[in-house]
Amino acid sequence: MTQQSGLRNAVLVDGVRIPFLRSGSDFKNLMSYDLGQMAIKSLLTRTQIDPGKVDWVMLGSVVSNLSTSNVARDAALAAGIPPHVPAATVILACVSAN
């Protein structure tokens, strides 16, 4: 497979998640963007990637947050990702044992 001029390969470096907890317990006073910020900071620390080298942020959430329209954007900015980097939130609610 040849690479076309000017195109770059997409690379997924790593991923993280926050722990599973029962709803209304330890994280009850945190917003989803707070949890996202923790996950992004953890990922940057673990991989030692310079936030300025990040091209895109994709963050998933089970429950949407009514206080912000884009959880990924707020979490990325709070974690030190530069403002020019796009960030998208995927909301995928599921039935679980919560």
**pLDDT at residue 66, as a whole number:** 73
Nearest to 61 by CA among 75, 49, 71: 71
Low-confidence ranges of the chain (pLDDT < 50): 1
Handedness of CA 18, 24, 28, 34 (dihedral sign): positive
The reply to whether the predicted model has a pTM over 0.75 is yes
As a whole number of angstroms, the distance between CA 41 and CA 78 comes to 9
Nearest to 80 by CA among 36, 37, 18, 34: 37
Nearest to 38 by CA among 92, 74, 91: 74
**pLDDT at residue 14, as a whole number:** 84
**pLDDT at residue 91, as a whole number:** 84
